Amino acid sequence: MNQEYDYIIAGAGAAGLSLAYKMLHPFFDDKRILVVDESLNPSHNKTWCFWDNKTPPFADLMYRQWNNAEVSISGKRIKSPLNEYTYYCLRSIDFQEQILRRLKKESRFDFLESTIEDLSVSYGIPILQTKSNSYQAEFIFQSCFSPWNSSTDQPDYPLLQHFLGWEVKTTKPVFDDAFFTLMDFDDTFDEGIAFIYLLPWSKTSALIEYTIFSDELLSREKYEEKISIYLNNRYNLKPIDYKITRTEFGEIPMKDRPHKPWYDTRILNIGTVGGVTKPSTGYTFSRIQKQTDQIIRDLQTDEKPNAHSPSKTRFKAYDLWLLQIIHDHPSEAYHVFNQLFKNNSMDAIFSFLAEESAITDDFKIMSSVPYTPFFRAIWQTKERLLEI
Ligand X SMILES: Cc1cc2nc3c(=O)[nH]c(=O)nc-3n(C[C@H](O)[C@H](O)[C@H](O)COP(=O)(O)OP(=O)(O)OC[C@H]3O[C@@H](n4cnc5c(N)ncnc54)[C@H](O)[C@@H]3O)c2cc1C
Q: What is the tally of helices (H) and strands (E) in the chain?
A: 10, 18
Residue 333 CB, nearest distance to ligand X (Å)? 20
| Beta carbon nearer to ligand X, 15 or 174 | 15
Residue 266: closest CA among 123, 82, 78, 378: 123
The amino acid that residue 354 corresponds to is A
Q: How far apart are CB 336 and ligand X at their closest, in Å?
A: 21
> Which of 184/377 has CB closer to ligand X?
184
- Cβ-based nearer residue to ligand X, 3 or 380: 3
- Beta carbon of residue 241, minimum distance to ligand X (angstroms, whole number): 26
Write down the least CB distance from residue 363 to ligand X, Å: 26
Residue (288 or 333) nearer to ligand X, CB: 288
Cβ 109 vs Cβ 103: under 8 Å: yes
Pick the closer one to ligand X by CB: 38 or 216.
38
- For ligand X, which residue has the nearest CB? 13
CB closer to ligand X out of 146 and 368? 146
Contacts 24+ apart (CB under 8 A), 308-312: 308/261, 309/259, 310/259, 310/275, 310/276, 310/278, 311/278, 311/355, 312/355
48-61: b (≥16 Cβ within 10 Å) or e: bbbbbeeebbbeee
Comparing CB distances to ligand X, the nearer of 39 and 122 is 39
Strand partners, 77: 72
Q: What's the farthest any 2 CA atoms get from each other in the chain?
A: 65
Q: Contact residues for ligand X (CB under 6 A)?
A: 11-16, 37-39, 46-50, 115-116, 143-144, 248, 250, 252, 271-272, 283-285, 288
Residue 358 Cβ, how far from ligand X at the closest point, in Å? 23
Please, what is the minimum distance in Å from the beta carbon of residue 141 to ligand X?
10
- Least distance in angstroms from the C-beta of 58 to ligand X: 13
E-strand stretches of 109-154: 109-113, 118-122, 125-129, 134-142
Cα 215 to Cα 201: distance, rounded to the nearest angstrom = 31
Name which of 159, 69, 6 is nearest 346 in CA terms. 69
Question: Is the CB of residue 214 less than 8 Å from the CB of residue 192?
Answer: yes
Q: How many angstroms separate the Cα of 212 from the Cα of each of 87, 164, 252, 327?
A: 21, 9, 10, 11
